[in-house]
Amino acid sequence: MTPADDEVTRLRSELAARDAELTRLRTELAETNSGVLALYAELETQAEALRRASDLKSSFLSNVSHELRTPIASVINLARLLLDKELGGGSLDDDQRIQVGYIARAGETLLEMVNSLLDLARIEAGRMEVVARRFVVAELLGTMRGMFRPLVTRREVALVIEEPAAKLTMESDEGKIAQILRNLVANALKFTERGEIRVRAEEADGWVTFTVSDTGIGIPVEHHERVFQEFEQVSGPLQAKAKGVGLGLPLSRSLAELLGGTLTLTSGAGSGSQFTLRLPRVAGTAPAARGEPAEAAVA
């Protein structure tokens, strides 16, 4: 056999080895593709199951909330009727009035929880609408000042609502913004034994920032995201006395996102808390940073 024949034989052997290697790689690639396709199918199945579970949860919450609101409202109205001396409440003695008062307050707390559940279900189902109109921020905060003044019952706590710029206006859903701020102030009142709760509103670059800060017990950093989860509460020295089921903050963040903004927390154990609500001054827009063109918000 000549050297040329030896070279041809060697080349054929190399080609055969490469063909075998290519065949093996094709087989592995086909198996990998099959595995990836199966994984995609499994992920899609799980995603569909999660969507169905989410839809069922929203439907359940919505239906249950609707069914509960009427009897709870009836209990509250009956309790108020019994407490109204001009409408028959005069027949109750002092102890009975105290007990009926407990019933009324418990009913109001339960109705607030049911309404929060219903709002969360609407947001998750995409059925919560934003009704935007032009309003003056100072008037919104003035209404809140009058609403919360009777609720500040401890002399050691001061509620300070700063006056914003006189010309500061927004074109957004005033009712939902008021709902967020009410939740934040009510939460601060629960966990502030002394010092102050301060509400401030400022505008910059097309955004309006509301801050609600307090000198209360604060929230440890590791629990910052937990407080925005439904039915979650952080254990603490005032938790036993504070009424609530852990829906105010999750609902507030969901409403903030619905309005195209954010709700964040800055706090630490024993150092008070500050909640920052940042919203576009005009709903449906997302103003860009200074020097950049504004883009429409993506729903």
Contacts of 171 (CB under 8 A, 6+ apart): 132, 133, 134, 135, 281, 282, 283
* Whether residue 18 sits in one domain with residue 109: yes
Rounded to whole angstroms, the Cα distance separating 254 from 130 reads: 12
Check whether residue 5 and residue 103 sit in a common domain. yes
Give the tens place of pLDDT for each residue, 265-277.
999 888 899 999 9
pLDDT digits 0-9 by tens, 214-253 = 999 888 888 888 888 876 666 555 555 555 567 889 999 9
Q: Looking at residue 80, which CATH number applies to its domain?
A: 1.10.287
Range of the domain at 49: 1-128
Q: How many CB atoms lie within 10 A of CB 44?
A: 10
Quote the percentage of the chain above a pLDDT of 70: 83
Residue that is written with structure tokens 């005032």 in the block: 238
Evaluate if pTM is beyond 0.95. Answer: no
**Boundary (domain end) residue, out of 128, 154, 185:** 128
Q: Do 285 and 159 share a structural domain?
A: yes
Tally of residues, the chain: 299
Regarding whether 137 and 116 lie in a shared domain, the answer is no
User: Going by DSSP bridges, is the β-strand pair 169-172/157-161 parallel, antiparallel, or unpaired?
Assistant: unpaired
Number of domains in the chain: 2
Decide: helix, strand or coil at residue 197.
strand
